[in-house]
Amino acid sequence: MTNTQSKALLAQHAEQLDYLRRILLAPVYDIAIETELTHLTKLSTRLNNHIYLKREDQQPVHSFKLRGAYNKLSNLSEAECIHGVIAASAGNHAQGLALAASKLGIKATIVMPKTTPDIKVDNVRRFGGEVRLVGNSFNEAQEASIEYAKAENKTLIHPFDDVDVIVGQGTVAKELLQQHAKTDVVFVPVGGGGLLAGIAVYLKQLSPNTKIIGVEAEDSACLKAALAAGKPVDLPQVGLFADGVAVKRIGEHTFNLIKQYCDDVITVSTDEICASIKDIFEQTRVIAEPAGALSLAGLQKYCATSEKTDQSLVAILSGANMNFHSLRYVSERCELGEKKKQCLR
């Protein structure tokens, strides 16, 4: 081993330990709760494996995003908070940031795409955040938020590509390991990669035999594109059904961690997501948003192609901020996702 390689390994080890320490000490429970790990008995029987849901829908904002937002704000200096904070979000980071800012007495401005479901926009305002609707995608909202931050001297809070945000999301893995130490595979939804990066960097240090699989929507697979290119790249467009993961480009920080610690990536269709929304509802009476059901759709696709049985498989239910008017579409499409009928033209 050369001196350069030795230094690189030492630097990587130091980074690993730093993430581990920061996740263990993250003050997220000032505002977030430890969510349940729910055993899906009917689905377990159907898939011949032990299926669990990590229930981030139980957070005060019905999404895991509160963890990263609060951890980031709690690490800001007083000077960084004077003019307030600003962020771009498709909805869940917005709600988490608005509630976290309210808790800490910081003014929050959220730039959201015009396509954001009303339920998410209304909740941001209810939590005390100022909403600005700009563009038709996350990336357009993100560009606007950068300009607003410069013009108004606000501190920009990135929804996923930030060390403190990644650390906050990593507390999901800390809870999971305490609740179910012998998990074989964890399925994590992927948008910008913050949740996957935080979970992966924590679990691979304390439970290296646990396999970690990222799950993407087929029409928003920015991680798959980045892995193929060897670096983050822009998708030409993204689908908006799973709006919580409709991100054109994976984060730089998140991609570097995912490359090191994630075992595989699965993509799923809209119909498969809808089928998983139905499965979650039948087992828990919770209506997951499309991004929230993404990981269970990936889990089911994994089981369909794997010969292994009797494994402990965990899917992260990342959010439940579903726009009511989307339910009709989900109901129609889930039957296709379950392969119960064919659509003929």
Alpha-carbon gap, residue 128 to 108, rounded angstroms:
8
Alpha-carbon gap, residue 73 to 123, rounded angstroms:
19
Residue type, 148: Y
Alpha-carbon gap, residue 245 to 294, rounded angstroms:
9
Which of 220, 276, 318, 326 is flagged as catalytic? 318
Alpha-carbon gap, residue 113 to 101, rounded angstroms:
21
Which of 54, 65, 120, 224 is flagged as catalytic? 65
Chain centroid to CA 65: how far?
7
Q: What are phi and psi of 326, to 5 degrees?
A: -85, -10
Residue with tokens 């999901």: 172
Chain centroid to CA 189: how far?
5
Binning the chain into helix, strand and coil, the percentages to the nearest 5 are 55, 15, 30
Helix (H, G, I), strand (E, B) or coil at 321: coil
Active site residue 120: no
Active site residue 318: yes
Residue among 308, 210, 344 nearest 264 (CA)? 210
Alpha-carbon gap, residue 160 to 138, rounded angstroms:
12
Alpha-carbon gap, residue 224 to 159, rounded angstroms:
20
Q: Give the length of the chain.
A: 345
Following DSSP, what letter does each residue of 260-291 receive, concatenated?
HH--EEEEE-HHHHHHHHHHHHHHHS----HH
Asked whether the beta carbons of 198 and 163 are under 8 A apart, the reply is no
- H or E segment to which residue 23 belongs: helix 3-25
Q: Show which residues are catalytic.
A: 65, 318
